[in-house]
Amino acid sequence: MIRTLLLTAGFATLISPALSLEPLPTEVEQRFQAGVHAVVGCEGCHWEESDKIQRAKVPAVCGNCHPGAHEDYESSVHWDSGKSHAICTDCHGLHDILPVKSPESRSFRSLVCGNCHPGPMEELANGPHAAAFEQTAAMACASCHSNHAVLHPRVSVVEPACESCHARDTDAFALGILVGGQFDDLRARSAHAASEIESAETQGIPTRQALRVLSAASDQFTQARLIWHSLDADRIKERVDQSVDLYDRVQQLIVDHIGIQRTRKTWVWIVWSFILISVVLLHQKRKALETKDE
């Protein structure tokens, strides 16, 4: 915190060693001076490394001045136990960071999310939320998913966001709860199907066909989640129903293969029993013939 205050006050040179930074191109330098970080200067970020900051270290560097955002980020899907799927500069820019409320900002109204998530953004543009968000100047994706603390969109996660705009007794809120419940059911079906396949594999049961069907079911589920951004209930239901049918087919395939394996084992047991009995009977017959000859 003390470091942040000193940097903000323009005393970076008093607490940072002399840095040999390469000058920025003129155009980039102009954008930097017009941005929010001009007040802290280059040393505000480049106080450990004199040149390019490694991508994996960017969140920690930004966290020096933005600890709250950094803490939220580390709890999000973008962090994923340190893998840093998306980092601060992917959304906010590099040397040209502007206030997020500025229309010229890279992260204005969180529309930048579409760079990595074009499918949801396209569906959002075709739904009622897009116009409502634009008219009210509300955040787009971040209105429902948050900005730094982006979590997997379960009902429990997005329900408060829905309630912030829609009363619980409205059709819009009811649709959200309905679809959210359907998605949770599909997640449970997916996990159960995957568990059944894993169990079948340990028993030596063929699972190649079941795995293909499971992949197709997951694809349909993904499409349903994309379409959700358009709030097209009919299209969502179509994909959900297809996913349910495919997950059920996975279950049936496993049951069928288990039945086939049991039938094979039964016939193997019958055949070996027949062979054993035949051997015993032949042995007894032979002894009887030998006794008769004597």
From first to last of the 294 residues of the chain, give the pLDDT tens digit.
434 444 444 444 434 444 567 788 898 999 999 999 999 888 888 876 567 888 888 999 999 999 999 999 999 999 876 666 899 999 999 999 999 889 999 999 889 999 999 999 999 999 999 988 888 888 889 988 989 999 888 888 888 888 988 999 999 999 988 998 999 999 999 999 999 999 999 888 889 999 999 999 999 999 999 999 999 999 999 999 999 999 999 999 998 888 888 888 888 999 999 999 999 888 888 887 777 766
pLDDT value of position 3: 44
Q: How far apart are CA 179 and CA 236, in angstroms?
A: 8
CA dist., res. 259 & res. 270, Å (int): 16
Phi, psi of 206 (to 5 degrees): -60, 135
Q: Cα–Cα distance between 50 and 234 in angstroms, integer?
A: 56
Give 214-222's long-range contacts (Cβ < 8 A, gap of 24+): 214/190, 214/246, 214/247, 214/250, 216/246, 217/189, 217/190, 217/193, 217/243, 217/246, 217/247, 217/249, 217/250, 218/190, 220/246, 221/183, 221/186, 221/190
Q: What is the distance between the alpha carbons of residues 112 and 85, in angstroms, rounded to a whole number? A: 15
Q: Which pLDDT value is given to residue 14?
A: 39
Would you state the torsion angle of the CA atoms of residues 169, 174, 176, 177, taken in this order, to the nearest 10 degrees? Answer: 100
| CA 216 to chain CA mean position, Å | 17
Q: Are 157 and 151 in contact (CB under 8 A)?
A: yes
Spatial separation of the C-alpha atoms in residues 75 and 68, rounded to whole Å: 11
For the chain, the domains span: 153-294
Cα gap 215→7, rounded to integer Å: 52
Alpha-carbon 274 to chain mean position = 56
Closest CA to 42 of 25, 61, 63, 21: 21
Helix (H) or strand (E) holding 201, with range, is helix 171-202
Which H or E run includes 133?
Answer: helix 128-136
| Cα–Cα distance measured from residue 202 to residue 223, given in angstroms and rounded to the nearest whole number | 31
Alpha-carbon gap, residue 115 to 283, rounded angstroms: 80
pLDDT of 240:
95
Residue type, 223: Q
Q: Residue 160, class by beta-carbon neighbours within 10 Å (0-12 exposed, 13-18 middle, 19+ buried)? A: exposed
Tell me how far apart the alpha carbons of residues 86 and 251 are, in angstroms, rounded to a whole number: 36
Residues 6+ apart with CB under 8 A from 193: 210, 214, 217, 247, 250, 251
Whole-angstrom distance, CA of residue 134 vs CA of residue 129:
8
148: Cβ contacts below 8 Å, ≥ 6 apart: 69, 70, 72, 73, 76
HSE-up of 151 (CA within 13 Å, CB side)? 11
Written as six digits, the tokens of 160 are: 């408060």
